């Protein structure tokens, strides 16, 4: 599968490396194609190419790695023609400049803002809960952490989950697109906890659970009460 990534910041570069190492063709696009070229040369993955945003937009799956506070929504609107009908992997968390809060109200999410502005695009939220340094060392003492994947487009969501095969994460179908409100805000909490316990920025979530059969003797917690 071919993936176009927009932006050569912390997330763009790491996701380009992640997907190309997993066997996908990746075009890393930048406002400054020479910078993207230098990064691709250093990463030296045979399947990773560099270029301008327009080159990355030729791919059937596009992943913008740009902050909403830096004008992502307006930039995407200018790319509407290239994006229509495609899968857009949305990784945004709408942080303000000092990362103390979000610039969007509680009644929405970055993912929904994009879907609203670009109704012809198949928006799938992913990687929102993964802080950048986790990509550099994804193994936590033998445990891999989770990527929560959300979308209202079931087929696109499953495609993005499959795209993660061969990457060092577990992908969870986290339901509808509006669940991005919760997933995005989980980073406000993980950021604060990471700072408090000195993990920042290498911490992530993993959902713990097990199959439960009613009546099984060794369970102390009863069924959920509806
Ligand atoms: N950092 C994290 O741990 C993390 C985790 C999960 C999700 N995210 C999300 O991932 C996205 C990118 O985060 P990041 O930490 O990778 O950001 P970053 O390091 O600041 O990189 C953002 C990139 O956006 C591009 N860009 C386009 N227009 C821009 C503008 N007007 N001003 C500044 N940069 C502009 C730049 O790439 P070019 O110059 O190459 O075009 C820049 O390198 C954000 O939406 C963020 O919420 C981040």
- Determine the 3-state secondary structure of 140 from DSSP: strand
pLDDT at 124 over 60: yes
Q: In a mutational test of the pocket of ligand 1, which residue from 65, 94, 134, 180 has the highest number of ligand atoms less than 8 Å from its CB?
A: 65
Position of tokens 């697109």? 177
Instruction: Give domain limits for the chain.
Output: 66-196
Q: In a mutational test of the pocket of ligand 1, which residue from 4, 8, 9, 204 has the highest number of ligand atoms less than 8 Å from its CB?
A: 9
Residue 11 CA, closest ligand 1 atom number: 16
Instruction: List the beta bridge partners of residue 171.
Output: 147
pLDDT at 114 over 70: yes
Instruction: Encode pLDDT of 51-96 as tens digits.
Output: 999 999 999 999 999 999 999 999 999 999 999 999 999 999 999 9
Is residue 53 within 8 Å of 78, Cβ to Cβ? no
Distance CA 181, CA 147 (A): 15
CA 119 to the chain's CA centroid: 19
For CA atoms 43, 87, 129, 144, give the dihedral sign. negative
Average pLDDT, the chain: 95
- What's the confidence (pLDDT) of residue 212? 74
Query: What residues does ligand 1 touch, defined as CB less than 6 Å away?
Result: 7-12, 30-32, 35, 65-67, 70-71, 91-93, 95, 127-128, 130-132
- What's the confidence (pLDDT) of residue 226? 46
Distance CA 131, CA 106 (A): 21
Residue 10 CA, closest ligand 1 atom number: 16
Question: Average pLDDT for residues 131-136, to the nearest whole number?
Answer: 98
Domain 66-196 of CATH type 3.40.1160.10? no
Distance CA 104, CA 94 (A): 7
Give the pLDDT band of residue 222 (cuts 50, 70, 90). Answer: low
pLDDT at 218 over 70: no
pLDDT at 131 over 80: yes
Alpha helices in the chain (DSSP H): 10-21, 33-43, 53-56, 72-78, 80-83, 110-117, 154-163, 180-196
- Determine the 3-state secondary structure of 166 from DSSP: coil
Please give the span between the terminal C-alpha atoms of the chain, in angstroms, as a whole number.
42
Share of the chain above pLDDT 70, in %: 95
Instruction: Encode pLDDT of 19-49 as tens digits.
Output: 999 999 999 999 999 999 999 999 999 999 9
- What's the confidence (pLDDT) of residue 217? 57
pLDDT at 1 over 90: yes
Position of tokens 């103390």? 100
- Determine the 3-state secondary structure of 141 from DSSP: coil
Dihedral angle computed from the Cα positions of residues 115, 118, 123 and 128, in that order, rounded to the nearest 10 degrees: -60
Distance CA 12, CA 10 (A): 6
Give the pLDDT band of residue 139 (cuts 50, 70, 90). Answer: very high
């Amino acid at each position: 599968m071919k993936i176009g990534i927009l932006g050569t910041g912390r997330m763009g570069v790491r996701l380009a490396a992640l997907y190309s190492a997993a066997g996908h063709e990746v075009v890393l696009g930048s406002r400054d194609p020479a910078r993207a070229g230098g990064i691709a040369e250093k990463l030296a993955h045979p399947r990773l190419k560099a270029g301008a945003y327009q080159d990355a937009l030729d791919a059937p799956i596009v992943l913008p790695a740009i902050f909403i506070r830096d004008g992502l929504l307006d930039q995407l609107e200018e790319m509407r023609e290239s994006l229509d009908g495609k899968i857009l992997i949305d990784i945004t968390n709408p942080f303000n400049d000092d990362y103390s809060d979000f610039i969007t109200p509680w009644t929405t999410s970055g993912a929904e803002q994009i879907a609203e502005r670009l109704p012809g695009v198949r928006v799938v939220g992913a990687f929102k809960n993964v802080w950048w340094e986790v990509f550099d060392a994804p193994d936590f003492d033998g445990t891999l952490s989770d990527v929560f994947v959300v979308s209202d487009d079931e087929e696109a969501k499953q495609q993005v989950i499959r795209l993660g095969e061969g990457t060092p994460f577990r992908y969870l179908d986290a339901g509808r697109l509006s669940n991005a409100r919760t997933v995005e805000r989980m980073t406000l909490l993980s950021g604060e906890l990471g700072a408090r316990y000195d993990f920042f920025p290498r911490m992530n979530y993993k959902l713990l659970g097990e199959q439960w059969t009613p009546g099984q003797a060794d369970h102390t917690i009863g069924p959920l009460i509806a």
